[in-house]
Copies of this chain bind each other. A is one copy, B any other.
């Protein structure tokens, strides 16, 4: 069987997303109208298996004691007409579909669906702006949730390891 580590050739269907591949780490800042601002450490991994998608997972941790905070996992797709599609699962009981555009190494996405389990908190919409410049990846996540208006929730800058 094919081991994940054996690195087959990137599927040409996701060649425009090749700039994402690798492991990125750094720090970010979170805020929301309902909580105190906070800083966090983060690691993001983008990898592929030779099929037409890019796999994605990330984890964040508290800077003071390293305790785990958020994780999320899913897949990035690139459609034939040049749109980027993102499908994600969150352990908070959410799944989301985001769609948007790619311009060079800048991705702009907005949720087309956010669905939750019976016991999860309400999230109405999510939007991501992600840019890679050299070995730096910056992103911003906007969110409307728990009755609050759409607002910047997370901003981070990571470096390619």
Contacts and interface: CB of A to CB of B under 8 A. Distances in A.
A93 B10 CA distance: 18
Interface size class of A (residues with CB under 8 A): 35 or more
A121 interface: no
Most chain B CB neighbours (cut-off 10 Å) among A53, A79, A119:
A119
Nearest to A3: B66
Interface in A50-95: 50-51, 53, 55, 57, 59, 61, 66-68, 71, 73-75, 77, 79-80, 83, 85, 87-91, 93-95
A41 interface: yes
Contact of A71 (B49, B80, B93): B49
A21 interface: no
Interface of A: 1-2, 4, 41, 49-51, 53, 55, 57, 59, 61, 66-68, 71, 73-75, 77, 79-80, 83, 85, 87-91, 93-97, 99, 112-113, 115-120
B95 A115 contact: yes
A49 B91 CA distance: 11
17 contacts: A2-B66, A2-B67, A2-B68, A49-B71, A51-B91, A74-B95, A75-B93, A77-B117, A79-B117, A83-B119, A85-B119, A88-B95, A93-B97, A95-B95, A97-B116, A112-B117, A113-B115
